[in-house]
Amino acid sequence: MSKLNETDIQGFVLRGYNLPYGRYILLRFENPDRARALVSKLLPIITTGQRWDNGKPQSTVNIGFTHRGLAALALPDATLLSFPVEFQQGMKKRADILGDTGLNAPARWDDVWHGNDVHAWLGINGLTATALDDCCSQLRSLFAETRGAVELAAQDAVSNMVDGQQTGKEHFGYTDGFGNPDYLGIERNSQPGHGKQLPDGSWAPLATGELLLGYADEAGELPAAPIPHILASNGTFMVYRKLHQNLATFRSFLDEQSAVYGGGREKLAAKLIGRWRDGTPLELAPDAPDPSIVKDPQRSTNFTYGADGAGTRCPIGAHMRRAHPRDAFGFNGKLIDRRRITRRGQTYGRFVPEGELASDAEERGVVFMVLNANISRQFEFVQQQWIEYGNDAKQGNDKDPLMGNHGGHGKFVVQGDRSATNPPLVCAHLPSFVELRGGDYFFIPSMTALGMIAMKLVDPR
């Protein structure tokens, strides 16, 4: 595996920037020539994966296109038709497959998603609110100057602050962002528990082709990709989902259930997801959170479920155990290595600490973004089979307790033992803690491909 060309890959694909302020701008292209002119102007300010030797920049900009967006840029039909089916259809048409029905149905999404107008996504992150605004002003002047795109909506996001400090906590109070996989060739501070497990129990990076088009994947082949290859290589696909969080519902659920649950409120919160709210994995510390584990990269993600088949430490249906089952399905994890996704999430809305009054109606949640080489095989599979269904986890139709589209009908079994502080618990009539407010599938091209698009140089083959 040769080193990846970081100058050709959008930075957002290779790493989470960990910048506190975000804004996601959704665009509609008006005219192919003017839209290409806009892409040309954007090219020099797109953030690549090149290392930041001089510290973090003030702001970053990344770009992605829906299939309709690529059509609006007048890519050749032969190229447009070579994209995978799910990307051509877009997320809304995949709603039944994804379980985006009922409370999560497209009819309930934010207005911007109701038409089929979203052509492009611009992801902007800033070190400060001012830096973010400055960057956005610059972009907006480019929209106006080229008349290449209309801004349909802008979604602001900001990392939750506790005592004035940026945290990795989402609104329910969980520390997030532990589980992203490692990939061959991508420089990162690797730690055990990332990537895939080998038969000897050690951990290794996943094949690059699980994230990036143009490289071998875990099946030992190149992932399905559009033609020409040069348009696809070093690119990937992004799933964008705005997930609203019903904070009041979540807290009252914890209150009600912990009144009858001997493990107490915090343990119940931990059982839902598989980690204590500070991030300590239940598998490593089932009785109480242990900050020393969270801080230690050798331990914080270094665990498996093999010795906890009964789920008495981490419930079999807990969120984390579903979304990244590690060894839980046997075969040394071979059944899950092609189902991994990279997540880039950022919270939006006001953070309300425990003890203060919160309402479900307030705008609050997480902008959840997934990067993967194959949306159908990776994101859609995880969403349908592991989040909205439980057969692989041997939990029947039970859904992910935290993320599932329950609508008041969910069930979650907390496996326990004879001890007073870890009893079994069956939660029924689960409400939806999280609701979908919209989103779509985006192609995140390489810098080379962006240049080709801007200069109308894409030939099918």
Partner 1 sequence: MSNINGKVYAMNAITPMKPWKTWVLRLIFFVLGHVKSLQQDLINLSFIEFARWVVVPRAGFPQFGNGQEPEKLTYDYLLFFSNFNGTWNQYIDAFSAVLSKGLNLIWQWSEKFPGSVPVTLFKEYIGRVQFDTDYYFTAYPHATANDLKAAHAVQASYDDLRSRVNSLSDAEFADAYMSFVLQVQPNLGETGEAPVVF
Partner 2 sequence: MPNNSGKVYGLTILSPILNDDEASPSHDLQIRSYLAGLSTGRESPFAQAPGTHLARLVVMDDVIFVGAPAVEEHLNSKYLIFESNCDPGPDGTIDSYLQGLAEYAGAHLDAIWSHCVGYPGASDRAAFVRYMKACQLETTFFFAAVNDKSVPETLRALQTQKAVADFVETHQGMQPGQLRAEFLQLVATLDAAPMPAVASATVSREMKIGGRNE
Contacting positions for partner 2 (CB under 8 A): 84-86, 89, 94, 96-97, 224, 260, 374, 376-377, 380, 411, 424-428
**Residue 199 contacts partner 1 per CB under 8 A:** no
| β pairing state of 21-29 and 59-65 | unpaired
Q: Is the C-alpha dihedral spanning 99, 306, 296, 416 positive or negative?
A: positive
- For partner 2, give the closer residue by CB, 407 or 424: 424
- For partner 1, give the closer residue by CB, 35 or 232: 232
**Residue 145 contacts partner 1 per CB under 8 A:** no
Least CB distance to partner 1 at residue 423 (A) = 9
Phi, psi dihedrals of residue 320, rounded to the nearest 5°? -65, -35
Q: Is the C-alpha dihedral spanning 163, 164, 166, 169 positive or negative?
A: positive
Where in 263-292 is the site for partner 1 (CB under 8 A)?
none
Least CB distance to partner 1 at residue 369 (A) = 21
The Cα 381–Cα 11 span in angstroms is 26
Q: Is the C-alpha dihedral spanning 69, 379, 278, 390 positive or negative?
A: positive
Choose from partner 1, partner 2, none: what does 389 bind? Cβ within 5-8 Å by kind: partner 1
Choose from partner 1, partner 2, none: what does 150 bind? Cβ within 5-8 Å by kind: none
Assess contact for 347 and 171: CB atoms under 8 A: yes
- With CB under 8 A as the contact rule, the residue among 57, 99, 192, 431 that binds partner 1 is 99
Measuring CA to CA, how many Å separate 425 from each of 51, 185, 250, 261, 285? 48, 44, 17, 7, 19
**Residue 429 contacts partner 1 per CB under 8 A:** no
Q: How many CB atoms lie within 10 A of CB 427?
A: 19
Q: Which stretch binds partner 1 (CB under 8 A): 3-11, 42-50, 280-288, 334-342?
A: 334-342
- For partner 1, give the closer residue by CB, 3 or 418: 418
Choose from partner 2, partner 1, none: what does 334 bind? Cβ within 5-8 Å by kind: partner 1
Assess contact for 25 and 154: CB atoms under 8 A: yes
**Residue 100 contacts partner 1 per CB under 8 A:** no
Least CB distance to partner 1 at residue 413 (A) = 5
Choose from partner 1, partner 2, none: what does 390 bind? Cβ within 5-8 Å by kind: partner 1
Tokens of 115: 């038409």
Least CB distance to partner 1 at residue 312 (A) = 9
- With CB under 8 A as the contact rule, the residue among 33, 187, 221, 354 that binds partner 1 is 221
Choose from partner 1, partner 2, none: what does 84 bind? Cβ within 5-8 Å by kind: partner 2
**Residue 210 contacts partner 1 per CB under 8 A:** no
DSSP codes joined into one string, 261-322? -TT-HHHHHHHHHSB-TTS-BTTT-SSS--HHHHH-TTTTT---SGGGTT-SSS-TT-HHHH
Least CB distance to partner 2 at residue 376 (A) = 6
Choose from partner 2, partner 1, none: what does 397 bind? Cβ within 5-8 Å by kind: partner 1
- For partner 2, give the closer residue by CB, 166 or 384: 384
Task: Tell which phi-psi region holds residue 24, choosing left (phi > 0), alpha (psi between -120 and 50) or beta.
Answer: beta
Measuring CA to CA, how many Å separate 21 from each of 123, 153, 306, 349? 11, 17, 39, 12
- For partner 2, give the closer residue by CB, 89 or 304: 89
Which helix (H) or strand (E) segment holds residue 198: the answer is none
User: Residue 40: is it exposed, middle or buried by C-beta count within 10 angstroms (0-12/13-18/19+)?
Assistant: middle
**Residue 446 contacts partner 1 per CB under 8 A:** no
Q: Is the C-alpha dihedral spanning 126, 48, 440, 376 positive or negative?
A: negative
Choose from partner 2, partner 1, none: what does 260 bind? Cβ within 5-8 Å by kind: partner 2
The Cα 334–Cα 110 span in angstroms is 38
- With CB under 8 A as the contact rule, the residue among 64, 390, 401, 439 that binds partner 1 is 390
- For partner 2, give the closer residue by CB, 77 or 96: 96
Q: Which stretch binds partner 1 (CB under 8 A): 235-243, 249-257, 282-290, 329-337?
A: 329-337
- For partner 2, give the closer residue by CB, 85 or 204: 85
